[in-house]
Amino acid sequence: MNPGKVSESVLKRSILKPIESVCEEMVQGSGVGADCALFSFSKEAFVALSVSTFSPKEGEADYMIAASVNNIAASFAEPKAILVSAIFPTDMYENHMRKWMEEIERQCKELGIVIAGGDTKVLSAVKEPVFTITVLGVRKETKEKQIVPEQDVVVTKWIGLTGTAILARERREELEAHLPPGYIEQGAMLWQYASILPEAATAMKSNVSGMHDVSYGGIFRALWELAEHAGVGLEIDLKKIPVKQETIEICEALGLNPYELFSAGALLVVCDNGHHLVAELEKQGISATVIGQTTANNDKVIINEEEKRFLDRPKTDELDSICM
């Protein structure tokens, strides 16, 4: 199989279909567009769990932790703790292991969460470090929200932020043949926008209907998964999707599609009055844009001026073709 996240058809056919076990406390389990499992052990709150696996380069714990925690925040929950399972190659030195954990701890402190435990192994089967991050959160809102047709679709900040940062760091030499070094450095600094915790908190106060973090596969995958999970269609204006010029230039230099690029840091929100939400987010210093609406059919339509096309089934992330 190709590297990266498995396709939706393989996920449904061979990963999700064999799962039959249930328990009465589980409110929401695995599914397309469901990045977080919910368990109810009381009438007052849900316990939320999310698991993500990464093979990052040194210095990239920011993206790894933020992307994991974002799944919880987009599920209307407050992240509390993480479990870190790490598999290191046999040529990994102890001081490098320590650097990884110091980086992870620093990011957790910035996000206000704790490392509650985990597992650490050294295996000859891996060539690079592999981390599995399990995030635990609590959701006090026990009433299920519902996305319906004719609601606004809002995206916060900009797409491709963390993908751009990774490309600027890992493909710097290649990019310097096309772009000024200072411009590449600006792209590398976009990691600082990786967390969606502030906008998710504002969105929850605004009584929105649904949220979905934009991460692996970019904005096109996130839109597909949001619509698929909610059972609605979409009409999205491509020109309104916010993207930084650094992302456009770096993707163009490397022949990549910014709309299919890792985008941890952007949040999709569905609500009745998107412009009101945008105004509330801007009061918090968070940029946001209404990019379209939900529809009553299952069509997922991308509009680019006079051209209309249907959104394709999710593909792998552009990073997989160039960094893996």
Angle at 195 between CA 189 and CA 198, to 5 degrees: 125
How many other CB atoms are found less than 10 A from the CB of residue 140? 11
User: Rg of the chain's alpha carbons, rounded to an integer?
Assistant: 19
Structure-model confidence comparison of residues 7 and 299, the more confident one: 299
Determine the average pLDDT of the residues in 83-92: 90
Q: How far apart are CA 268 and CA 235, in angstroms?
A: 14
Binned at pLDDT 50, 70 and 90, residue 9 comes out as: low
Whole-structure pTM value: 0.83
pLDDT for 26: 59
pLDDT for 1: 46
Weakest mean pLDDT among 70-74, 154-158, 231-235, 236-240: 70-74
Structure-model confidence comparison of residues 39 and 209, the more confident one: 209
Q: How far apart are CA 64 and CA 45, in angstroms?
A: 27
Burial class for 322, CB neighbours closer than 10 Å (0-12, 13-18, 19+) = middle
Q: How far apart are CA 40 and CA 61, in angstroms?
A: 31
> Whose structure tokens read 């619509």?
227
Distances (CA, A) of 77 to 27, 50, 107, 197: 14, 11, 19, 10
Looking at residue 259, its amino acid is Y
Q: How many residues does the chain have?
A: 324
- Most confident range (mean pLDDT) of 82-96, 108-122, 214-228 is 214-228
Q: Average pLDDT over the chain, rounded to whole?
A: 86
Angle at 283 between CA 278 and CA 286, to 5 degrees: 65
Cβ pair 5, 317 in contact under 8 A: yes
CB neighbours of 77 closer than 8 A, spacing ≥ 6? 36, 38, 46, 48, 137, 138, 139
Over residues 282-319, the pLDDT tens digits come to 999 999 999 999 999 989 999 999 899 999 888 889 98
Angle at 18 between CA 12 and CA 22, to 5 degrees: 105
Which among 229, 220, 208, 213 is positioned nearest to 152, based on CA atoms?
A: 208
Cβ pair 303, 291 in contact under 8 A: no
CB neighbours of 293 closer than 8 A, spacing ≥ 6? 150, 151, 152, 153, 234, 235
Which among 283, 286, 145 is positioned nearest to 208, based on CA atoms?
A: 145
Handedness of CA 144, 286, 214, 223 (dihedral sign): positive
Determine the average pLDDT of the residues in 171-199: 93
